[in-house]
Amino acid sequence: MTTVAEIFETMEWGPAPESDKPVLEWIARSSGEFGHYIGGQWTEPKEKLLFDVMNPATTKRLARVSQGTSDDVDAAVAAARDALPAWQALTPHQRARHLYALARSVQRNARLLAVLESLDNGKSIRETRDIDIPLVARHFYHHAGWAQLLETEFAGYEAAGVVGQIIPWNFPLLMLSWKVAPALAAGCTVVLKPAEFTPMTALLFAELAHDAGLPPGVLNIVTGDGDTGKALVAHPDVNKIAFTGSTEVGKAIRRAVAGTGKKLSLELGGKSPFIVFDDADLDSVVEGVVDAIWFNQGQVCCAGSRLLVQEGISERLLTKLKARMEKLRVGSPLDKAVDMG
């Protein structure tokens, strides 16, 4: 007689797809082509300055976005500079209201953002829906709270001014929230360049911010490749650069801003080791290791990419790890039953 345990062990996972129809309709409203968001307005896409954004799961084109030029960066920085006095003239509580509005808008549009992030980045819908997008909303709520404490907790401090922000492709919208929310709370205005591979949720966020009533010029989005980022880093009217990405590019940015007086924050790559001793619970270790290295397809700057194991348990641990790895489910990022997109 077949036992319940045997039935569970032999069951196959059926597909549980999330619909991409709302996202494709949103893209189609712009005819699949997007300009920059500068000074509260969308620039007109220019045919010769468009590049393809691909769905990594299918290698099909998702949309076409604009390649930012130095003129585009100039316009975005000028818009941010023009908006700065009025933004800083608001009381911290007034700025907090804008951040609360952004957080609520993210929550209202969570499904649209989650599906778009999965299509653009390739990560599983379970991660975008259950981790990334809820965290985006929480960051704006969190910094709305801090905005109201500025006068007491940060007495005597002043906002940096116009902040240029460059974010990576592994957590596109989450990294946007990490950088945009505290900058706006502090009274800064922002020019943000998303990664050229994953700009779509930043563009949708700009639309949501516009609809939520964020004043023109407070947030500006310029899409493009490394040359666009270089123009932003080198711009003389930017007061601070915030960059998340590779160590190599971070070093280049550090050299570029040296002596300019710009403030700088860098979040770069690293090698995070697991150290396992012979008294460890190996089953728990296996789950921790697999989650640490394959969460977000392993595209995490602090992924557990090294494993240091006490010699006496190395064979047992590796055997368990291999068995667990064989059961990872890889498939369409919109399938809610997969482990990796």
CATH classification at residue 240: 3.40.605.10
Q: Is residue 16 part of a domain?
A: no
Q: Are residues 156 and 78 in the same domain?
A: yes
The reported pLDDT for the residue numbered 298 is: 67
Q: Are residues 162 and 281 in the same domain?
A: no
Q: Is residue 17 part of a domain?
A: no
Domain count, the chain: 2
Percent of the chain with pLDDT over 90: 75
How does pLDDT run across 134-191, given as a tens digit for each residue? Answer: 999 999 999 999 999 988 888 888 999 999 999 999 999 999 999 999 999 999 999 9
Q: Are residues 255 and 311 in the same domain?
A: no
Specify the 3-state DSSP secondary structure of 333: coil
Q: Is residue 8 part of a domain?
A: no
* Catalytic site residue from 25, 33, 267, 326: 267
What mean pLDDT is predicted for residues 245-258?
A: 94
- pLDDT of residue 13 exceeding 70: no
Q: Is residue 319 part of a domain?
A: yes
What mean pLDDT is predicted for residues 68-75?
A: 97
Which residues share a beta bridge with 266? 243
The reported pLDDT for the residue numbered 156 is: 87
Q: Could you confirm whether 188 is annotated as catalytic? A: no
Q: Is residue 191 part of a domain?
A: yes
CA torsion, points 251, 253, 255, 258, in degrees to nearest 10?
Answer: -130
* Catalytic site residue from 18, 127, 196, 301: 301
Q: Is residue 332 part of a domain?
A: no
Q: Are residues 252 and 314 in the same domain?
A: no
Neighbours of 322 (CB within 10 A): 10
DSSP state string for 257-289 = HTTS--EEEEE-----EEEE-TTS-HHHHHHHH
Q: Containing H/E element for 50? A: strand 50-55
Q: Are residues 278 and 262 in the same domain?
A: no
Q: Are residues 53 and 115 in the same domain?
A: yes
Could you list the residue range(s) of the whole structural domain that residue 55 is in? 22-267
Q: Could you confirm whether 267 is annotated as catalytic? A: yes
Give the confidence band of 271 by pLDDT, cuts at 50, 70, 90.
confident
Mean pLDDT of the chain: 92
- What gap in Å lies between CA 330 and CA 321, rounded to an integer? 17
Which of 240, 267, 294 delimits the end of a domain? 267
Which residues share a beta bridge with 165? 192, 242
The reported pLDDT for the residue numbered 266 is: 94
The reported pLDDT for the residue numbered 249 is: 94
Which of 250, 267, 284 delimits the end of a domain? 267
Q: Is residue 137 part of a domain?
A: yes
Give the confidence band of 31 by pLDDT, cuts at 50, 70, 90.
very high
Q: Is residue 7 part of a domain?
A: no
Q: Are residues 31 and 130 in the same domain?
A: yes
